[in-house]
Structure 1
């Protein structure tokens, strides 16, 4: 529903043409997509990972410099690729006392 809300409708519809992606002559469409991601930040650095629809891509990112940050208040974060500036992960923490 999230992707549909962002305007990605065709792959989920009966008009979808996925024949270039799979060896099947029948009409195919995407029924659902699952995604899970995590970000862990500690004194040793940052580790982020994501899995989508059975395709797993894990990345380990290291902070280029030490930054003192006390996460005792709500905040937003973005992790982006250095060369292109592409956002890899983004998120927010509303109540840090509830984090595990």
Structure 2
């Protein structure tokens, strides 16, 4: 997922100063220590580490929270660290399931 995110949102790696500015806006939610860690990843161009940490500490918790809030029922969970599904394949899968 981290590698996919890096490729999909490559504009963030191409303009680190903008990425840092966006990350700093999350301080109210994650605190100084976490933001400082993410800023260090940006400064060192450690994009994989940044993506993994953002997924773990920001995106996944926010996603789980929204599922609870909107009473979303999980039907399927794909577990494979190396699995990459492009958007068209995923869209086709979802379309066939509905």
Common fold: TM-score over 0.5 = no
- TM-score interval, normalised by the smaller of the two chains: under 0.3
Choose between structure 1 and 2: higher strand proportion: 1
Task: Give the helix-richer structure, 1 or 2.
Answer: 2
**TM-score for the superposition, normalised by structure 2:** 0.28
Q: Which has the higher contact order (CA 8 A, sep 6+)?
A: 2
